[in-house]
């Protein structure tokens, strides 16, 4: 049952990602990217990281995609005209280098992953021996919160400073330019 769901989610994620890559219509590709993100959230839940899955839905689907839609609508009309001109789809000469590079990357990555044998590595075996593996019975969110405030407090604070910097930077970039320097 779980493996069937995994394969369905993976097929949806990869298929909609391929559609994003192949489609010439910007609006359609944005909405298919929604579906990719939802399927990825499902994959996170299947990997017993339910809180990360929920965060994915809230932050990505609720935040980032709305931002992308805003940027798309504000940067407007001639986008669509420009997109109508480029009729060429996935296979064309101008996109051949990108296709070659992506395929080469995939071959290399898949080779490495198949040869690395991550399931037989030492620390995975050690984790299984020490009962350090998550099971569907226990909830991880308790220890996640405790760890976030104890073990990982320094990266947490560093990220809060970075968020503040991003906020100031975005506000600075998007203000009206009267006293341009």
Partner 1 sequence: MITLTHYLLVSAGLFSIGIYVVLSKQNAIQVLIGIEMMLNAAILNLVAFGKFDKINNAGQTFALFAIVLAAASTAVALAIVLNVYRRHQTIDPGKINQLKD
Interacting positions 68-127 with partner 1 (CB under 8 A) = 68, 70-72, 74-76, 78-79, 82-83, 86, 95, 97-99, 101-103, 105-106, 109-110, 113-114, 117-119, 123-124, 127
Nearest distance, CB of residue 128 and partner 1, angstroms: 7
Sign, CA dihedral 86-87-93-97, equals positive
Sign, CA dihedral 161-164-166-168, equals negative
Q: Is 152 near partner 1 (CB under 8 A)?
A: yes
Q: How many CB atoms lie within 10 A of CB 21?
A: 14
Place of tokens 């579906």: 35
Q: Enumerate residues 6+ apart whose C-beta is below 8 A from 70.
A: none
Residue 90 contacts residue 17 (beta carbons within 8 Å): no
Nearest distance, CB of residue 59 and partner 1, angstroms: 5
Give the one residue of 28, 64, 84, 157 binding partner 1; rule: CB under 8 A: 64
Report how many residues bind partner 1 under the rule CB under 8 A. Answer: 87
Distances (CA, A) of 29 to 15, 68, 74, 86: 12, 11, 17, 15
Q: Six-digit token pair at 65?
A: 């995609």
Nearest distance, CB of residue 86 and partner 1, angstroms: 7
Nearest distance, CB of residue 178 and partner 1, angstroms: 13
Q: Is 174 near partner 1 (CB under 8 A)?
A: yes
Q: Is 169 near partner 1 (CB under 8 A)?
A: yes
Which 22-41 positions form the footprint of partner 1 (CB under 8 A)? 26, 29-30, 33, 36-37, 40
Nearest distance, CB of residue 83 and partner 1, angstroms: 7
Nearest distance, CB of residue 24 and partner 1, angstroms: 10
DSSP state of 76: -
Give the one residue of 31, 35, 46, 61 binding partner 1; rule: CB under 8 A: 46
Q: Is 140 near partner 1 (CB under 8 A)?
A: yes
Residue 20 contacts residue 33 (beta carbons within 8 Å): yes
């Amino acid at each position: 049952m779980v493996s069937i769901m995994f394969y369905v989610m993976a097929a949806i994620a990869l298929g909609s990602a391929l559609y994003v890559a192949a489609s010439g219509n910007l609006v359609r590709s944005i909405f298919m990217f929604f579906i990719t993100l939802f399927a990825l959230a499902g994959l996170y839940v299947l990997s017993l990281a339910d809180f990360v899955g929920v965060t994915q839905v809230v932050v990505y689907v609720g935040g980032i995609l709305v931002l992308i839609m805003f940027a798309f609508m504000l940067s407007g009309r001639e986008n669509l005209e420009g997109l109508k001109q480029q009729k060429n789809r996935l296979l064309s000469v101008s996109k051949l280098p990108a296709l070659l590079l992506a395929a080469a990357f995939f071959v290399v990555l898949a080779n490495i992953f198949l040869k690395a044998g991550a399931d037989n590595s030492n620390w995975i075996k050690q984790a299984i021996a020490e009962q350090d593996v998550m099971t569907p019975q226990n909830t991880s969110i308790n220890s996640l919160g405790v760890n976030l405030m104890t073990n990982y407090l320094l990266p947490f604070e560093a990220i809060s400073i970075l968020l503040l910097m991003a906020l100031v930077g975005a506000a600075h970039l998007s203000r009206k330019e009267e006293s341009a320097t």
